[in-house]
Every structure is written in C-alpha cells, then in structure tokens.
Amino acid sequence: MQLTLTEPHLRRLCTINNFNLPAGQMIFVGLRGCLPLNPTNHTFESQQEVRLEEINYINPRCTLIQWRPDAGTFALFPGSTVPSLRFVKKAKANQGRGANQLLTGYYKDYRKGTHKAASNSGHEAFRQNENHPIRRSSDDFDFDNDDRVEFANPFDNMHAGWCQSVDATEYASCGCQVIVGFPKCKVPHRNADVGPWKDFKANAYRLAQDSFPYVLLTGRDAQGVVTATDTAAAVPARVRFGSEGELVSKVQTALKDEGFYEGIVDGDFTGRTIRAVLEYQTATFGANADDGIVGPLTAATLKIKSWPTV
C-alpha cells in the first residue's frame, strides 16, 4: 500500500503518542515496515511517498527519517529497525542473547560518536546512551509480544547498514537502527561513506547539534494517521515508552491502584512504567498481548474515563 506522508502527519503522530519534542532540533524518525517509494531520493520535502512492507529480517524493510520541524520538511532513507536474520538465528541458540528488537517509542539521546570503536569497521555514527526496552526471542526467528522484554543498553546505535540496497539479503544489525550504505572506516577500500548512509550522516554531522531525539513507530501507525486525515476522523491517543504528560500520569495512577506500579506518578513513561504496563497487559489479556502501548482498550480495563482522541 502506498501512502503520501506529509510533515503535518509526523507532527500528528507525535501528538497522538504524547511525545514532547524539543524545539529547534533535527529529529530522527523510524517507520518499521515501510520503505521510501524512491530509495535514492534523499531531498528534504514537505511530503514524501512511502509504501508499507512486511518485515522479514532478511531485507531492509524500514524507513529512517530526518525531520526538520522548524523548516516543515523531512528526508527519507531506506534501512532497518530490526535485527538481521543471521544474528537472530545465532541468538536463538543462546536464549536470545546476541540480538534484540527495540520497542517502539521515543528515545531522547542518539549522540554523535563512534560505532564499534575498537574494530576496523568502527565508524562515525549515532550512539544510544541510555537503558531502553528491548525484546529478545528465544523460541523462533522473529519478535512477537510473547517474547521477553528487558530494560538495558545493548547499544542499539544508529549506523551504516553494510548493504547496497533494499534488495540486499543481509545487513549488519544485531538490534541497531541502520541505514543502507557503507561507512568510511579502517576496512580496506572503505575510504568514504557511500549510499544513503553518506547523506544521512553528512546531514546530521554538519549540524552543531550533538544529540538527536529518535521517534520509532511503524508503517501501520503512519497509515492510521494518513487515513484518518483523509477522512477527517479522530485517532485515539496512545502512550508508550517516551511519552510524557497528564495522560501518562493517569495511566500510572490507574496502574498503582491495580497494584502494578510502585513508582512516582510523574507523567514520564520510562522503565518502571513500561514494566508495569507489560505486567498488567500480560495478566489481563495474556502473554501474546503485552505490547507496552496504552490505548483505548487497556485504558478501559484500567477504568480510565474519557480517553482522548486527536
């Protein structure tokens, strides 16, 4: 399915999910299961064409976005937000250790730095610097809601994917967010960044900005916003990892009343809150329904009244 994604759609996605973005900064966005219609066009525009794709852990099937809210424009880059099947298979034999999949949400600090600094393939990239929620799969070769969630920092950095195109059958990710292309590094004949990665890195590194917020959602999330805009329909609000504000406080209070949350009611959806949500969803809906996202259904079972729409 093809979608026309606009800059206001990106804003609405953040509003729906209660993400509090900083002003005056470039924002990174990942759409899992979605590719640019033209993977070689990396110009900043107010609207872009994308298409929904199925994640297969073999080919890059995601879009990484550089968004300039102050200018009202964004650029698309093909890549992956899920680990490569090669690493998932190795991890399965080790109880899931060695590969992970980042949960959707808002991550505030992808910082300029070196990925794999001690190796010959080390290169300038964007480093994850905080603990965050990840899934590990030990039963099969994909990631489902029944896979366990850990809160850790396995350094799911954002870097070059070491692959040539969206048709590549392998890419370099154990859980990192990667962009198609190859990096400048110590490996012989890698004396320059190439491919979409070249433009992605250059755009960000030429800025004085050192830390980049990262919004990770899905192509289906984007589809919901585009469709609702076309039909002038309201979309129910969501809170998930990285959300902030009054709605998060309501969820925390409701979880505390149910005996699942023991933290401070601070309106900040971080580690304790996502653990509580996952435990509550597992207890209420079953092990395959704990997505860590609070929408109308979870809110209704928590007895939260007047769940808002956007």
- Contact, 66 vs 75, CB < 8 A? yes
pLDDT at 229: 87
Establish if 309 belongs to a structural domain. no
> In b/e form, how buried is each residue of 121-132, taking b as 16+ CB within 10 angstroms?
bbbbbbbbbeeb
Do 208 and 244 lie in one domain? The reply is no
Do 137 and 72 lie in one domain? The reply is yes
Do 88 and 189 lie in one domain? The reply is yes
First to last CA, the chain: 24
Establish if 73 belongs to a structural domain. yes
Do 64 and 196 lie in one domain? The reply is yes
d(CA 8, CA 229): 10
Do 20 and 140 lie in one domain? The reply is yes
Nearest to 142 by CA among 91, 204, 67, 181: 91
d(CA 61, CA 43): 20
Question: What does pTM read for this prediction?
Answer: 0.97
Do 216 and 241 lie in one domain? The reply is no
CB atoms near residue 3 (< 10 Å): 21
Q: What is the pLDDT along the chain (310 residues), one digit of tens a residue?
A: 999 999 999 999 999 999 999 999 999 999 999 999 999 999 999 999 999 999 999 999 999 999 999 999 999 999 999 999 999 999 999 999 999 999 999 999 999 999 999 999 999 999 999 999 999 999 999 999 999 999 999 999 999 999 999 999 999 999 999 999 999 999 999 999 999 999 999 999 999 999 999 999 999 999 999 999 888 889 999 999 999 999 999 999 999 999 999 999 999 999 999 999 999 999 999 988 999 999 999 999 999 999 999 9
- Contact, 85 vs 141, CB < 8 A? yes
Establish if 291 belongs to a structural domain. yes
Nearest to 96 by CA among 55, 56, 154: 154
Establish if 310 belongs to a structural domain. no
Establish if 118 belongs to a structural domain. yes
Establish if 272 belongs to a structural domain. yes
CA 275 to chain centre: 18
Q: Into how many domains does the chain fold?
A: 2
Specify the pairing of strand 27-32 against strand 211-218.
parallel
Do 94 and 197 lie in one domain? The reply is yes
Do 76 and 131 lie in one domain? The reply is yes
Do 121 and 241 lie in one domain? The reply is no
Domain with 50 in it:
2-221
Do 205 and 243 lie in one domain? The reply is no
d(CA 168, CA 78): 11
pLDDT at 109: 96
Establish if 228 belongs to a structural domain. no
The arrangement of strands across the sheet holding 47-52 comes to 2-6, 47-52, 34-36
Do 25 and 63 lie in one domain? The reply is yes
Do 191 and 284 lie in one domain? The reply is no
